[in-house]
Structure 1
Amino acid sequence: MENVSTGLKWAIGIILTLLIVAAGISVFMVTQGYFQRGQEQAVSQSVALAQSEFNNYENTTVTGTDVLEAIKRYKDRPFFSIEMKTLLMTGYNHATDKKCYSAANPSVSVTCTTLVTHTLMTDQTQATYVNPTARFKSSIYKDGNGVIRHIRFEQQ
């Protein structure tokens, strides 16, 4: 009788251990989906925050002062370019990598030929002068990964 009692205790212990392990596994499986969904939301929010600095330039009308500010702010950003079309000329501003991205295909970079610096844009004797009160239509362009690579300002 004692052997039966000991065997029963062992069997009940094994069954309880299996139930506890199964409950732990099921809780893990349920929470894994929540953790993955939370991670995806955190990534999308961080991307939205990173891209929010460009919201002012997404299909809006800005002044020449805003164009000059954008040139100063993004002049050293790698893999990024700004295209500026005035009534007299078209020029690009880019980082030291001398790469520009076109509005047609922002995923492909090309070597820039017409560099327009902030200094040239504020010099009233140059054809590249940007009047601070002029109105520009601004557009942003993203590459295949959804990263903003190009801003285009076109004088109205």
Structure 2
Amino acid sequence: MENSLKGLMLAAGIIITCIIISLGFYIAREARDTASEGTGQINQLQAEFTDASKTMYDGTEVSGSEVLNVIRKFSDETMGILVQTNKNKTYYNYNFDVDKGELGKALDNSYKNAQDVASDKYINPTARFQGSIVKDVNGTIIGIVFAQV
């Protein structure tokens, strides 16, 4: 009788140990999946915050001085800025195709040309501009368009 009781206790201990180990593996797998999902969400939020500095100009009316600030602010990024004044239109940083959403070649147009009153590329700081963004087929912002209103 004593041997059978010891055998039953040993079997119960083995079963309980297997259940605990199985629960441990289940919890570890769930934690890994949750962490992976959280990482994906964090990456998505980071991409949205990165683009927020550009998307804020979409559909917004800004002054010419703000357009000059945008040209200077994004001068080191791989994107273009198109400024359409009543006189002409000028690309800064890169040219791009608004309709196709394709980024072109790098340009030499400098911020100083936009400030020179004698230049035909002059941007009047008090003028009003309507902003819009241009994206490529992947949804990446490749340009900002400012049209004088």
Q: TM-score range by the shorter chain?
A: 0.7 to 0.9
2:96 is aligned to 101
- Residue identity in the other structure for 1:14: I
Counterparts of 2:81 and 2:97, CA distance in 1: 9
**CA root-mean-square deviation:** 2.2
- Residue identity in the other structure for 2:103: S
Unpaired segments ≥5 residues, structure 2: none
Match of 1:130 among 108, 123, 143: 123
1:146 is aligned to 139
Q: TM-score, normalised by structure 1?
A: 0.82
Aligned residues: 149
CA distance 1:71–1:137, change in 2 (3 Å):
same
1:89 is aligned to 88
1:52 maps onto 2:19 in alignment: no
- State the Cα distance separating 1:126 from its structure 2 match: 1.1
- State the Cα distance separating 1:19 from its structure 2 match: 0.7
Contact 1:64 1:131 in 2 (8 A): yes
Contact 2:80 2:103 in 1 (8 A): no
| Deviation string, structure 1 residues 97-147 (Cα, Å, up to 9, x no partner) | xx43322233x322367x532111111111111111111111112223332
Q: TM-score, normalised by structure 2?
A: 0.85
1:110 is aligned to 104
Contact 1:59 1:139 in 2 (8 A): yes
